[in-house]
Amino acid sequence: MFLVGIIHMKEKGDVGRNLQMLWLLPIHALVWTFAAWLSWGNLDRQGDMVENYVWGIEWQAGYSKHPPLFAWITAAWFRVFPHTDIAYFLLSALNAMVGLLGIVALAKRFLPTRLAILAGLAMAVSPLYSNLAIKFNANAVLLLLWPWTAYFFVCFMQNRRVDCAIALGVLFGASMLGKYFSVVLLVALCVAALMHPAWRAALLSRRSWLVAGAAAVVMLPHLYWLVSNDFLTLRYAQNRTGGTVSEAIVRFCIYTIAQLGYLLPSFCFIALLTRTHWWQAALAMARSCVVPPERSGLWWLVASPLIVVGAAAVAAKTQMASVWGMAQWFAIVPFWLVVLRRGGFEITPARAPRVMLAYWLIVLLVASIVGWLAAKRNTEGGAEPRAELAAAASNLWRQRIGGDIPIVGGAINEARSIAFYSRGHTRFWDFRHSYETPWVSAADVAREGALLVCRDSDPDCIAAASSISSASPSLCEVKKQAWGMTLPARKYQLFLMPPHA
The answer, yes or no, to whether residue 373 has pLDDT greater than 50, is: yes
Q: What pLDDT, in 10s, does the model give residues 53-66? A: 999 999 999 999 99
At residue 332's C-alpha, the angle toward residues 329 and 335, to 5°, is 155
Positive or negative, the Cα torsion across 163, 164, 168, 171?
A: positive
Task: Please give the pLDDT value at position 6.
Answer: 42
- Which letter, b or e, does each residue of 436-447 get, where b requires 16 or more Cβ atoms within 10 Å of its Cβ? bbeebeeebbee
The answer, yes or no, to whether residue 348 has pLDDT greater than 60, is: yes
Mean pLDDT of 454-461: 94
Find all residues with CB under 8 Å of 443, minimum gap 6, and list them: none
Mean pLDDT of 92-118: 96
Contact 409, 429 (CB under 8 A): yes
In this structure, are strands 450-455 and 407-410 parallel, antiparallel, or unpaired?
Answer: parallel
Contact 273, 355 (CB under 8 A): yes
> Which residue would you say has higher pLDDT here, 235 or 79?
79
The CA distance from 352 to 294, in Å, is 30
> Which residue would you say has higher pLDDT here, 287 or 241?
287
Lowest mean pLDDT among 179-183, 347-351, 409-413: 347-351
Q: Name the β-bridge partners of 491.
A: 477
Contact 474, 396 (CB under 8 A): yes
Task: Please give the pLDDT value at position 12.
Answer: 45
Rounded to the nearest integer, the mean pLDDT of the chain is 91
Q: What is the DSSP letter of 223?
A: H
Q: What percent of the chain has pLDDT over 70?
A: 95
What is the CA 206 to chain-centroid distance, rounded? 34
Please name the amino acid found at residue 436: E
* Confidence label for 179 from pLDDT (cuts 50, 70 and 90): very high
pTM value? 0.93
Task: Please give the pLDDT value at position 15.
Answer: 62
The CA distance from 160 to 414, in Å, is 51
> Which residue would you say has higher pLDDT here, 220 or 276?
220
Mean pLDDT of 150-163: 95
Helices (H) and strands (E) in the chain, counts: 23, 7
The CA distance from 371 to 260, in Å, is 27
Give the H or E element holding residue 366: helix 352-376
Task: Please give the pLDDT value at position 177.
Answer: 97
The CA distance from 48 to 132, in Å, is 13
Find all residues with CB under 8 Å of 72, minimum gap 6, and list them: 56, 59
* Confidence label for 276 from pLDDT (cuts 50, 70 and 90): confident
The CA distance from 329 to 360, in Å, is 22
The side-by-side arrangement of strands in the sheet containing 407-410 is 427-429, 407-410, 450-455, 490-497, 474-478
Task: Please give the pLDDT value at position 10.
Answer: 44
In this structure, are strands 481-482 and 474-478 parallel, antiparallel, or unpaired?
Answer: unpaired
Give one DSSP letter per residue of 102-166, joined into a string. HHHHHHHTTS-HHHHHHHHHHHHTSGGGTTTTTS-STTTHHHHHHHHHHHHHHHHHHH--HHHHH
- Which letter, b or e, does each residue of 115-143 get, where b requires 16 or more Cβ atoms within 10 Å of its Cβ? bbbbbbbbbbbbbbbbbbbbbbbbbbbbb
Please name the amino acid found at residue 91: L
Q: What pLDDT, in 10s, does the model give residues 11-26? A: 444 566 777 889 999 9
* Confidence label for 470 from pLDDT (cuts 50, 70 and 90): confident
Give one word for 207, left, alpha or beta, with left for phi > 0 and alpha for psi -120 to 50.
Answer: alpha
Q: Name the burial class of residue 374, with classes exposed (0-12), middle (13-18) and buried (19+) by CB atoms within 10 angstroms of its CB.
A: buried
Task: Please give the pLDDT value at position 501.
Answer: 55
Q: Closest Cα to residue 454, out of 497, 494, 416, 405?
A: 494
Contact 66, 138 (CB under 8 A): yes
3-state secondary structure 385-450: CHHHHHHHHHHHHHHHCCCCCCEEEECHHHHHHHHHHCCCCCEEECCCCHHHCCCCCHHHHHHHCE
Give the H or E element holding residue 194: helix 183-195
Mean pLDDT of 166-172: 97
Q: What is the DSSP letter of 457?
A: T
Mean pLDDT of 36-56: 93
The CA distance from 331 to 484, in Å, is 44
The answer, yes or no, to whether residue 7 has pLDDT greater than 50, is: no
Task: Please give the pLDDT value at position 423.
Answer: 80
The CA distance from 103 to 333, in Å, is 9
What CA–CA distances, in Å, run from 311 to 64, 178, 314, 405, 463? 27, 22, 5, 49, 46
Mean pLDDT of 433-455: 93
What angle separates helix 352-376 from helix 113-124, to the nearest 10 degrees?
10
Q: What pLDDT, in 10s, does the model give residues 232-252? A: 888 776 666 667 888 888 889
